Homo-oligomer: A and B are copies of this chain.
């Protein structure tokens, strides 16, 4: 129940120092004493109070995971992949969600991590310079997903290149009016991602000799609902695109939903390409850029554990994963013969 190290020491007839040493495998204790102490502790159901242990030893065996959303696929995937690695290394996970409001006070926010965690994992957060400095001042390893900062561990993909690849795929299919459903660049949390992908989109267009049209770029929430609203805006205008590049699969799903409601067929009338390779993308036959999210989560966790084991090994090279175009059935050449589908054919049989 309330077993303390003293009780174990008393029961074993040794000092608390010996108990502590025995239990954590430190030297300075004879093998037989250590064994006996361990048995007694086990039998008493004793385990050291992490609080006291941390206070005394100075390190917390805890890492903070800081992210902007918990209820979105991407973050769950990262969390799910990182957790086993971290837990496997005996580390605890402290969850911090920073919304837009708090982002302003992020400096203060990070301050709260002081003496609280041994490492910090940031997932797709656009950091200001002062925030970066605040992080550095923590004096603990920092891991980043989705962007990189000098001196911090990081895993990411090349969003610019990936976006260009996606758009190039559409260009190759003969599309010229290509709508973009992009993240809000004002949104601190997705800053780099939204900016980079939009940049890649424009770059690909320009390389093809097409001037980017601001009217074709709609910013929205990184969600199906956001994608739906953005698509509604896109198709409520005179000049409608023949293809859409959505910066996330979920946005793409929303866009497809809207197209469906408008009676536009995918890919016959409009091609749609997403970004992520969300599990549902396969279900919906969505062409997308696969960015192996789980792998990113796994890798940053591995890096974090390594950095914790060997504190002097800070600042290894950023890991850049190569996204891959996954072609499915939501993209097609422009000017396909248009046919009316019969009622209820939404989930119709593929052409035999």
- Contact partner of A51 (CB less than 8 A), chosen from B51, B79, B83, B282, is B51
Cβ of A14 under 8 Å from chain B: no
Contact B70–A352 (Cβ < 8 Å): no
- Contact partner of A346 (CB less than 8 A), chosen from B69, B225, B285, B336, is B285
Cβ of A196 under 8 Å from chain B: no
* Stretch of A52-60, A154-162, A233-241 that contacts chain B: A52-60
Cβ of A28 under 8 Å from chain B: no
Cβ of A169 under 8 Å from chain B: no
- Contact partner of A111 (CB less than 8 A), chosen from B47, B51, B254, B340, is B47
Contact A71–B81 (Cβ < 8 Å): yes
Cβ of A350 under 8 Å from chain B: yes
- In the complex, chain A residues 250-264 whose Cβ is within 8 Å of any chain B Cβ: 250, 253-254, 256-257, 259-261, 263-264
Contact B73–A263 (Cβ < 8 Å): no
Contact B344–A347 (Cβ < 8 Å): no
- A77 contacts across to B, CB distance below 8 A: 71
In the complex, residue of chain B having the shortest beta-carbon distance to the beta carbon of A71: B80
Min CB gap A196→B, angstroms: 24
With A and B bound together, what is the CA distance between A285 and B263 in angstroms? 14
- A75 contacts across to B, CB distance below 8 A: 76
With A and B bound together, what is the CA distance between A344 and B83 in angstroms? 41
- A195 contacts across to B, CB distance below 8 A: none
Contact B70–A280 (Cβ < 8 Å): no
- A137 contacts across to B, CB distance below 8 A: 1
Total contacting residues, chain A, CB less than 8 A: 80
Contact B60–A70 (Cβ < 8 Å): no
With A and B bound together, what is the CA distance between A265 and B116 in angstroms? 55
- A112 contacts across to B, CB distance below 8 A: 47
- In the complex, chain A residues 95-142 whose Cβ is within 8 Å of any chain B Cβ: 95, 97, 111-112, 114-116, 137
Cβ of A37 under 8 Å from chain B: no
- A256 contacts across to B, CB distance below 8 A: 283, 347
Min CB gap A222→B, angstroms: 12
Most buried by B among A73, A266, A284: A284
Cβ of A207 under 8 Å from chain B: no
Contact B60–A71 (Cβ < 8 Å): no
Q: Can you name 11 extra interface pairs (CB under 8 A) apart from A224-B283, A339-B345?
A: A50-B116, A51-B60, A52-B55, A55-B55, A70-B83, A71-B79, A224-B282, A257-B283, A260-B285, A261-B350, A283-B284
